[in-house]
Structure 1
Amino acid sequence: MTGRPTEPTLPSRRTFLRAGALAALAVPLAAACSPGYDESPDPLAPLLSAAEADVAGAKALTGAEAEAVATARAAHAAALKTEVDRLNRPKPTQSGPAGNAPSSLEGLKERLAQARKQAEGLVPSLPRYRAGMVASIAAGCAALQQSSDQLGRGDDAGPVTVPAGPPLSQEAAEAVQQALAAEHAATWVYGLVSAYLPAAFSGAVTRGSAEHVKRRDVCERMLSAAGQSPAGPEAAYVPPKPVTDANSAMELVATAEADAAAAWLGVIDRTDDTALRATALNALIGSARRGTAWRAEFGAKPVVIAMPGQTA
């Protein structure tokens, strides 16, 4: 027999308190030793790498299409670089052809389609201040596609529909009211210009007008479902420049599409709802593409707005 107790000795209450105090101290110490920022790779870094490669490839080519791509993608790269550098998150491992400069217009065509798809895929999940920028870049790629057959024309945007999900928040409802105002104005513009454009443009006018009427209805339904009163159209609209001929009529339509793009980008900037963002992104891309087509018709320089919806 050793004389040891047959039951374990229990620690005193003071021991428990001392252990608890040490554990409490360990939490802030661990936090103080943590890096304090997101260590995951920046999802915008691949977009930046692709934009920089596209600029290099486009500058090595000749022709109006290559020049347009170089200019627009340089604007995309500059916006992305500012944001990537600001957060200074780890760079992802390079994968795929993002870092390889395209060596032909066919290569640029493929790269624009890839960049647009990648940007569109990121919009639903990004923080607001990033989602708006990336949505604008997606629209810029879509506008480049629309500007030339050699760049592929690309696919039209998806339909603008009432998003499934909860009613609009107050902040989002205010943004949708602004989009509704832009849609009222665009509908009025398409009605005005029909008197100044040749018959060859009647199809484009009819399609554009019908699209804006649909969007107007979508805005009104979203607002009504949220318990808001949709604002009606103004009694009259004053064009920024007098409409006197076909060219000035086309310029006014392009301006209306740019205003609509800005309003829908404002919706993306003011919501976290992924379904509403998708609706707004489709509207933004649709206006960017139609605006590009009209700008090409009246000879605007540049034809392509690099980041549709963004303020200059």
Structure 2
Amino acid sequence: MQPPSRRTFLALGLLIAAGGALTACTDQHDAAPGTPAGDHRPDPDEPVRLRAVAATDTLLAGYDALLPQSPQLQSLRAEVAQHRAALAAGLPTTPTPTPATGPLPTTTSAVTTPAALATLERQTAQSRLADLGAASPRLARLLASVSASGVLHAVALGDDAPAPAPAPSPSATGDPATAFQDALSAEHAAVYGYGVVGARLPDAQRTDARTALAAHQARRDAWQRLLTGTGATPAPAAAGYQLPFPVTDAAAATRLAAHLETRLTTVYADLVATAPTTRRTLAADALRECALRATRWGAAPTPFPGLPDQTTPSTPTPSTPSTP
């Protein structure tokens, strides 16, 4: 990779701006306009939440089956318990069990090894995505985040099989232009960011940076094609960007890669909420991939990848490029 031009800086501010705008939109989707305070109407998300909680209870039982001989799994189980609490928010104290969407071939009785538990984690993570289209924007964002966390758990348990690719999305019922323009801008920033990363890494790590760069270029191109297909003009890369911190050595480059991927998980978690329902799996797939790469670059683990309760660095701001 070539060293960056002196005129060019990294646009991590774009990631933050996009994530903030998407979050603001997301928080406005769930309350019906004109609903009086205290008007307790049936929660349309309740069937989805019940299915998600049932799947999580099966997963927790799998952890409990292994904990006596594998106490080191307690930290992962604690995250799954946090998932259950978030998914059960607003449900009755003792919800009636509801079958999870999609088959979960690995039963609790079959969970006798960490490998079997990893399989159950991955199957459960995939089952979360089946309900994305039926959920409200906020719940869909939560489901996508919990699904990404489940894939991270599966990897931590030793399952390194690639996750299934999302099914081709049917024609959208809404306009994806605004939501995907933000994602495209974030990917423009990531593509340049990995140029900075690769220029500072030793040869042994540079292959990882090239692989990540190629993945972000593919995402960028996919969003450009999607936008063009809707008649929108894809947003171009910004003229000037600013690094969130100096990148002068391999350690800083590694931190920058982790920072890039972590910021993108926020963008894609919010994209799940703002995209048309038929496009949500595309955003959830991107969220999962960014969460995996963030972990590989050393980002601090979180039970809810992409959600605003995670610990994040301070917000950088765009800058006008300097002259040589």
Superposition TM-score, scaled by structure 2 size: 0.70
Provide, for residues 235-274 of structure 1, a one-character-per-residue CA deviation record: whole Å limited to 9, x for no partner.
Answer: 2322322223222211211111122222122221023432
Change (3 A) 1:241 1:157: farther
Unpaired runs of at least 5, structure 2: 1-40, 310-324
Structure-2 residue corresponding to 1:176: 180
Provide, for residues 89-126 of structure 1, a one-character-per-residue CA deviation record: whole Å limited to 9, x for no partner.
Answer: 64337998777795642343132122212212222332
Provide, for residues 187-223 of structure 1, a one-character-per-residue CA deviation record: whole Å limited to 9, x for no partner.
Answer: 1111101111111122211111111111111112222
2:53 corresponds to which of 45, 58, 75: 45
Cα drift, residue 51 of structure 1: 4.6
Unpaired runs of at least 5, structure 1: 1-34
Contact map agreement 1:57 1:101 (CA 8 A) in 2:
no
2:293 corresponds to which of 290, 306, 309: 290
Q: What is the 5 A alignment of 1:1-312?
A: 42-53=50-61, 56=64, 60=68, 62=70, 66-85=73-92, 90-92=96-98, 104-147=113-156, 150-156=157-163, 158=165, 163-166=169-172, 168-169=174-175, 172-274=176-278, 276-295=279-298, 300=299, 302=300, 304-312=301-309
CA distance in 2, matches of 1:44, 1:55: 17
CA distance in 2, matches of 1:96, 1:225: 38
The code of the aligned residue for 2:91 comes to V
The higher-RCO structure (CA 8 Å, 6+ apart) is: 2
SS at match of 2:293: helix
SS at match of 2:305: coil
SS at match of 2:200: coil
Between the two proteins, what is the percent identity of the paired residues?
Answer: 25
Cα drift, residue 228 of structure 1: 2.4
Quick check: which one's helix share is greater?
Answer: 1
Superposition TM-score, scaled by structure 1 size: 0.72
The code of the aligned residue for 1:143 comes to L
- Structure number with bigger Rg: 1
Change (3 A) 1:200 1:269: same
Provide, for residues 254-312 of structure 1, a one-character-per-residue CA deviation record: whole Å limited to 9, x for no partner.
Answer: 111122222122221023432x11211211111111111111xxxx5x4x332211111
Change (3 A) 1:84 1:96: farther
Change (3 A) 1:145 1:220: same
CA distance in 2, matches of 1:89, 1:200: 51
Change (3 A) 1:57 1:176: farther
Contact map agreement 1:53 1:98 (CA 8 A) in 2:
no
The number of equivalent residue pairs is 264
CA distance in 1, matches of 2:164, 2:264: 14
Contact map agreement 2:173 2:276 (CA 8 A) in 1:
no
